[in-house]
Amino acid sequence: MDIPGGLILDPPNLKPWRNVPVRRYISERFQRPTAFQNDANAAAFGESWVGCGRGLRSFVLFTLGTGIGGGIVVDGKIVEGQHSHAGELGHIKIEITSSRLCGCGQRGCLEAYASATAVVARVREALAESGQTSSLGAFSTFTARDIFQAADAGDRLAAAIVDDTARYLAVGAATVMHVLDPDAIAFGGGMALAGERFIARIREHVPQFAFPTPAQRCEIRRAVLEGNAGVIGAAGCGRLLLHR
Ligand SMILES: [Zn+2]
C-alpha cells in the first residue's frame, strides 16, 4: 500500500513483529498529536467513558460481531499489555478437544463458537445432521439475526444454538472474572443487539463457571453505545492525549 507522502506499507513483507509507524506518520502529516487504538479497545473505552461502564473502576467489553473483540479498562486506562495483546477476549480457549478452527489459526477459541459467523456455521452443521429440523432449513442463506428471531419464535434448534452461545460467552465472562475480577462485563456489537433476553441468558449461565463472589457481584451488562462505541472511544483516547 503506497500512502501519499512517501510511507510505503508492504503487507506481503510485513512480519507480525514489525512495527509500522502509522501513528507517527499521521501525526507528522497533520501536525497534530495522534492517538492510535485497536477498534475493540476503543469501543471498551467509549463504553467505560460515557456508556454502560461509566463510573466503574474496572470494566471489560466483549464485542460480538463477525468475530469477537474485547477491551479492558482499569482506572480510566485501556489495559494494552506488555506486547499490545491484552484484551483479545475472542481467543480465550473454551474447548481443547474436537475444537473448532478460529480465524486466528488456532482451535477452540470463543470466537470460533460464539461470533455471529460461528453461530451461523453451527446452525448449518446442525441442519446437516440427520433428524434435526428447523424453520431455518427452508432458507438457503440466513444470518445470526435470523437465528435469534427464529429462537424467539419458538424454533427449537435455533433456541438450543442461541442458548449454547450464551453458555460459551458465560465461560468467557467467567474467565475474565478469574483473571481480572472487574466491576462489570458488558456485551456489545451486532449480536448483542439481539437484546436483553440474550444478555440475561449469559448472566444465568455465569454461576456454573465462575467463583461465587464475582459471579454474584460482577455485573453482566448490555453495551449501550451500539455502533458508536468505537468512534466515541477513539475521541476519548484523543482527548486523553491532549489533557495528559
Ligand atoms: Zn482465535
- Distance in Å, CA 31 to ligand 1 centroid: 37
pLDDT digits (tens, 9 = 90+) for 153-167: 999 999 999 999 999
- Distance in Å, CA 83 to ligand 1 centroid: 17
Q: Which residue reads 454474584 in cell numbers? A: 216
- Distance in Å, CA 157 to ligand 1 centroid: 26
In angstroms, the Cα distances linking 60 to 55, 75, 107, 127 are 13, 12, 23, 34
- Distance in Å, CA 111 to ligand 1 centroid: 6
Amino acid at 77: K
Please state whether 76 falls in left (phi above 0), alpha (psi between -120 and 50) or beta: left
Q: What is the pLDDT along the chain (244 residues), one digit of tens a residue?
A: 444 444 445 555 555 556 778 888 899 999 988 988 999 999 999 999 999 999 999 999 999 999 999 999 999 999 999 998 999 999 999 999 878 999 999 999 999 999 999 999 999 999 988 677 888 888 889 999 999 999 999 999 999 999 999 999 999 999 999 999 999 999 999 887 778 899 999 999 999 999 999 999 999 999 999 889 999 999 999 998 887 6
Amino acid at 125: E
The bridge status of strand 58-64 relative to strand 184-188 is parallel
CA angle 106, 110, 113 (to 5 degrees): 95
C-alpha cell, 67? 468475530
- Tell me the whole-structure pTM to 2 decimals: 0.89
Element (H, E) at 163: helix 156-179
Name 233's Cβ contacts closer than 8 Å, sequence gap at least 6.
37, 41, 42, 43, 44, 45, 46, 47, 48, 49
Q: Which residues partner with 58 through β-bridges? A: 74
Q: Are 27 and 217 in contact (CB under 8 A)?
A: no
- Distance in Å, CA 121 to ligand 1 centroid: 16
- Distance in Å, CA 64 to ligand 1 centroid: 14
- Distance in Å, CA 15 to ligand 1 centroid: 19
- Distance in Å, CA 101 to ligand 1 centroid: 8
- Distance in Å, CA 55 to ligand 1 centroid: 31
- Distance in Å, CA 89 to ligand 1 centroid: 9
- Other CB atoms within 10 A of residue 76 CB: 12
Q: Which residues partner with 64 through β-bridges? A: 68
Amino acid at 96: I
